[in-house]
């Protein structure tokens, strides 16, 4: 259908009132409506991860790199994308320790310390300052956890959730106007047919929302 597909990891979606700002690393996209079809995240959070999120713990190194200039940072990487973020951060931070949660084959910048260990807990006072691993500990100023996906609860500020699922009505509306949901992230059962049907409903609701918005804007111009 000539639809352009952009394969980038979405870190945050912000409702700006009249539009949405979608943050993908250094890139920002704008949209009038958004349909979330993220699936369900199965990975468990580290102990202390939620407590210190935004307080020394983050999910996007390229977004927050300047906050850690000349500081000691750890990156827990779950995929190859994390390697790019580690290389970028190594040009800014005092030190970068990379902890791969997969078989690391690519080459990182020489200044990056690679630690083959398993993270267990994040500790701190007001801010995170220590990463506890199975066989050692790291004193750090910041920790980035680069996962394959981020829970919608943290991706979209203000989004209402119920456990691992996003709250929605039968028309796939969330509590944020213009934001819709479909698939496993909308709740059980986790089935392809249900997801496809919800996707159609979500898009139909989004189109209806856009039509109403156009009519409203046209009336305002004519007035």
The CATH number for 25's domain is 3.50.50.60
Same domain flag for 124 and 168: no
Tally the domains of the chain. Answer: 2
Enumerate the H helices of 20-96 as residue ranges.
61-64, 81-90
* Containing structural domain, residue 21: 12-40+155-222
Q: State the pLDDT at residue 61.
A: 87
Q: State the pLDDT at residue 42.
A: 64
Q: State the pLDDT at residue 151.
A: 80
- Count of C-beta atoms within a 10 Å radius of residue 146: 25
Same domain flag for 64 and 141: yes
Same domain flag for 165 and 197: yes
Of the candidates 89, 124, 126, 127, the one whose C-alpha atom is nearest the C-alpha of residue 108 is 89
Last residue of a domain, one of 123, 146, 169: 146
Tell me whether residue 78 is in a domain. Answer: yes
Q: At 118, list the tokens.
A: 């398993």
Tell me whether residue 49 is in a domain. Answer: no
Q: At 49, list the tokens.
A: 């991860």
Question: Any bridge partners for residue 73, and if so which?
Answer: 96, 142
CA dihedral of residues 76, 81, 84, 87 (deg, nearest 10): 10
Last residue of a domain, one of 128, 146, 164: 146
pLDDT along the chain (223 residues), means of 10: 88 93 91 94 83 91 89 94 92 96 89 95 95 96 87 90 92 97 93 95 97 84 71
| pTM given for the model | 0.70
Residue 36 DSSP class: E
Q: State the pLDDT at residue 150.
A: 75
Q: At 199, list the tokens.
A: 């996707």
Same domain flag for 128 and 181: no
Tell me whether residue 48 is in a domain. Answer: no
Q: State the pLDDT at residue 143.
A: 97
Peptide bond into 189 cis (omega under 30): yes
Same domain flag for 23 and 102: no
Last residue of a domain, one of 126, 146, 166: 146
Tell me whether residue 97 is in a domain. Answer: yes
Same domain flag for 61 and 138: yes
Strand order, beta sheet including 119-124: 119-124, 128-133, 137-139
Residue that the structure tokens 């059980």 belong to: 188
Same domain flag for 71 and 141: yes
Of the candidates 87, 86, 88, 105, the one whose C-alpha atom is nearest the C-alpha of residue 143 is 86
Strand order, beta sheet including 27-31: 12-15, 20-24, 27-31
């Amino acid at each position: 259908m000539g639809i352009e597909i952009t394969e980038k990891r979405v870190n945050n979606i912000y409702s700006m009132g009249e539009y949405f700002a979608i943050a993908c690393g250094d890139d920002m996209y704008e949209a009038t409506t958004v349909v979330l079809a993220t699936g369900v995240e199965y990975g468990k959070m580290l102990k202390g991860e939620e407590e210190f999120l935004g307080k020394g713990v983050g999910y996007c190194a390229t977004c927050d790199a300047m906050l850690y200039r000349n500081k000691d940072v750890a990156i827990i990487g779950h995929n190859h994308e994390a390697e790019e973020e580690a290389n970028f951060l190594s040009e800014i931070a005092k030190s970068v320790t990379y902890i791969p949660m997969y078989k690391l084959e690519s080459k990182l910048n020489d200044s990056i310390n690679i630690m083959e260990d398993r993270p267990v807990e994040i500790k701190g006072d007001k801010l995170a300052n220590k990463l506890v691993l199975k066989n050692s500990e790291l004193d750090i100023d910041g920790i980035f956890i680069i996962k394959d996906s981020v829970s919608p609860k943290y991706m979209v500020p203000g989004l209402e959730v119920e456990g691992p699922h996003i709250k929605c009505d039968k028309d796939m509306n969330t509590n944020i106007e213009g934001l819709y949901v479909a698939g496993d992230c909308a709740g059980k059962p986790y089935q392809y047919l249900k997801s496809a049907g919800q996707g159609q409903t979500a898009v139909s609701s989004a189109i209806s929302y856009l039509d109403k918005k156009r009519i409203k804007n046209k009336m305002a111009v004519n007035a």
